[in-house]
């Protein structure tokens, strides 16, 4: 399926881009045997992900005038890599459910999950090597450096769980590595395929990184302060798990020792009901104005991401889809 994107053809909007991408994914043929290696890969890839990273990659390519068609394998590589990280994370976190279905380790067992995850990562390079040959070395460099940083982020995340004290700065560094770098890499690969200048590639990376951080901070905020409708699950999960979110770490850095004790111990206090635990911790957050601080940071990073788009060496209207993408990601109307 060849996608026509000649000069006088209008740019594809975000929904059109997603349709093109889903069609591309659907025609990828994985081997049938051994079944227990490839079936979990198909299962993961068709699990109803939001395709945020490939969409971003394709939109960045298009913004700089690149052919969406040429960028499809790289977009699929990034999506495959993302799903590989989820698969191995589900083993490490002992997660039984992913996107409302049984996780791969829950369904096929841990060994199959390790191995099919490995195959997914290799397959992401199989897709990546299909980019135009003149850009392969550069794109491999971006992809590989991004992939290593994601592993570093996951390791810091596991390390932090065992540590008593983690600073807000350390946390921001961790989520940058674990989640934002993948958005940054996707954007940069797209821009590279669209023949963006090196400077614009760096800027688009920064745009995606700031957006990713805003998104992750908002995720933390909504988990405690959103509505069930916004969140798609029960409010307060992070608090009940005693997770070191940005809310928790901000609060810890500001609170007096008495309140710190509340933050540390409430989640495992067997005498309290879930509602009481949540209310108790949120009361401390509120006392130190934590939600406002985090909200400010989200807005700051979101605005920074959008303002980077103003500085790109392309016509303003070519950045429109990237603005829409950013607003959609954050669930914002304007």
The first and second tokens of residue 202, run together, are 């760096």
Which is nearer to a copy of itself, 160 or 242 (by Cβ)?
160
CA-nearest of 59, 73, 138 to 312 is 59
Q: Is 188 in the site for a copy of itself (CB under 8 A)?
A: no
* Interstrand relation of 101-102 and 97-98 (parallel, antiparallel or unpaired): antiparallel
- Cβ 222 vs Cβ 230: under 8 Å: yes
Q: What is the rounded CA–CA span in Å between residue 240 and residue 274?
A: 7
Q: What is the rounded CA–CA span in Å between residue 197 and residue 186?
A: 16
Q: Give the residue, chosen from 22, 23, 141, 274, that forms a contact with a copy of itself under the rule CB under 8 A.
A: 141
Q: Give the residue, chosen from 26, 96, 97, 158, that forms a contact with a copy of itself under the rule CB under 8 A.
A: 158
Q: Is 167 in the site for a copy of itself (CB under 8 A)?
A: no
Q: Give the residue, chosen from 111, 197, 265, 307, that forms a contact with a copy of itself under the rule CB under 8 A.
A: 111
CB of 216 to a copy of itself, least distance (A): 19
Q: Give the residue, chosen from 26, 42, 96, 122, that forms a contact with a copy of itself under the rule CB under 8 A.
A: 122
| Phi and psi based region of residue 289 (left: phi greater than 0; alpha: psi -120 to 50; beta: remaining) | left
Contact positions with a copy of itself (CB under 8 A) in 216-255: none
Residue carrying the six token digits 């025609």: 27
DSSP class of residue 286? H
Q: Give the residue, chosen from 125, 168, 272, 287, that forms a contact with a copy of itself under the rule CB under 8 A.
A: 125
CA-nearest of 306, 301, 285, 56 to 188 is 56
Contact positions with a copy of itself (CB under 8 A) in 32-91: 33-34, 36-37, 88, 91
Interface residues with a copy of itself (CB under 8 A) are 31, 33-34, 36-37, 88, 91-92, 111-112, 114-119, 121-123, 125-126, 129, 133, 136-137, 140-141, 144-145, 147-148, 151-152, 154-156, 158-159
């Amino acid at each position: 399926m060849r996608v026509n994107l000649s000069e006088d053809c209008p740019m594809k909007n975000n929904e059109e881009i997603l349709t093109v991408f889903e069609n591309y994914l659907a025609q990828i043929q994985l081997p049938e045997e051994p079944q227990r290696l490839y079936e979990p890969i198909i299962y993961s890839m068709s699990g109803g992900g939001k395709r945020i990273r490939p969409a971003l990659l394709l939109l960045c390519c298009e913004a700089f005038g690149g052919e969406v068609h040429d960028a499809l394998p790289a977009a699929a590589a990034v999506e495959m890599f993302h799903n590989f990280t989820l698969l191995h994370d589900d083993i490490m976190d002992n997660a039984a459910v992913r996107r409302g279905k049984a996780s791969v380790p829950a369904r096929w067992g841990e060994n199959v999950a390790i191995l099919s995850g490995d195959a997914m990562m290799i397959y992401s390079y199989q897709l990546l090597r299909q980019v135009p040959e003149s850009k392969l070395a550069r794109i491999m460099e971006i992809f590989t450096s991004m992939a290593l940083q994601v592993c570093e982020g996951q390791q810091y995340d596991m390390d932090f769980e065992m540590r008593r004290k983690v600073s807000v700065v350390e946390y921001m560094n961790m989520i940058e590595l674990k989640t934002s770098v993948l958005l940054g890499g996707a954007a940069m690969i797209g821009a590279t395929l669209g023949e963006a200048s090196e400077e614009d590639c760096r800027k688009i990376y920064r745009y995606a990184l700031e957006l990713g951080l805003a998104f992750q901070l908002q995720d933390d905020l909504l988990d405690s302060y959103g509505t069930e409708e916004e969140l798609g699950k029960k409010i307060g999960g992070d608090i009940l798990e005693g997770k070191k979110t940005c809310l928790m770490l901000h609060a810890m850095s500001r609170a007096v020792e008495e309140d710190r004790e509340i933050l540390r111990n409430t989640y495992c206090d067997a005498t309290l009901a879930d509602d009481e635990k949540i209310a108790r911790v949120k009361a401390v957050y509120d006392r130190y104005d934590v939600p406002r601080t985090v909200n400010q940071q989200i807005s700051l990073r979101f605005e920074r991401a959008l303002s980077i788009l103003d500085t790109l060496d392309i016509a303003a209207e070519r950045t429109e889809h990237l603005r829409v993408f950013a607003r959609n990601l954050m669930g914002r109307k304007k």
